[in-house]
Amino acid sequence: MDTTVTDIRNFLHTQQQHITHWAVAHTHFHTYNCTHLEAERMAELARAKCRFFRRCFSQFLYGAKAHRKPLQYQPLILASIEGVHTSTQAAHTIHFNFALGNIPTTINAAELFEVFTHCWVDKAKLSSKGIWLQKAQSHHNTQWLNYITKEAEKGYTDTWDFENTQIPYVALAAD
């Protein structure tokens, strides 16, 4: 059975009440004039770097508890990857869109941006260009989730980065 954009969005929408921040972060991978195989390899490397970012980000926010009790002490991260498609018309940079939640309440948006940037740039060695993070407007979480999965409407259902999505179910159940 093939996954559809509706399937992806329905699943992601089940988490929208837990989203507190939105973010976009670019990589160093450019798919302009690449073959499909080259673009897929870049996407694979980008996902691996994002996985490392995710581990660093979780540990920075929650310390060692992030690894000992991940279903309780990790941020919610709903991730999508864009820009993997190849083109000879325009320069594309592979980038990630995030919906975040379960962030410690002691961290404000400016501090979260600093932590996010440190983990993305200094730890995962990804691009410092195009990093954007803001506090979510909960009444717009549905629109954000639809926006970050827009490439799925064009048939690229791999836009949802399942591997880099983490849902701390125990922590969210306590909400």
DSSP 14-78: TTGGGEEEEEEEEEEEE-BT--HHHHHHHHHHHHHHHHHHHHHHHHHHHTTHHHHSTTTSS-EEE
Instruction: Tell me the one-letter amino acid at 131.
Output: I
pLDDT tens per residue, range 12-26: 999 999 999 999 999
Of 104, 81, 94, 109, the closest CA to residue 165 belongs to: 81
Determine the pLDDT at residue 87.
64
Concatenated DSSP letters of 77-135? EEEEEE--S-BSSS--EEEEEEEEE---TT--HHHHHHHHHIIIIIIT---STT-EEEE
Determine the pLDDT at residue 155.
79
Of 123, 157, 166, 167, the closest CA to residue 6 belongs to: 157
Sign, CA torsion 151/96/94/91: positive
Orientation of helix 109-117 relative to helix 36-62, angle to 10°? 130
More reliable by pLDDT, 156 or 117:
117
Give the span between the Cα atoms of 100 and 90, in whole angstroms: 30
- Model pTM score: 0.92
Residue 108's contacts (CB-CB under 8 Å, 6 or more residues apart) are none
Give the span between the Cα atoms of 150 and 12, in whole angstroms: 13
pLDDT tier at 90, thresholds 50, 70, 90: low
1 pLDDT higher than 60 = no
- Is 113 within 8 Å of 21 (Cβ atoms)? no
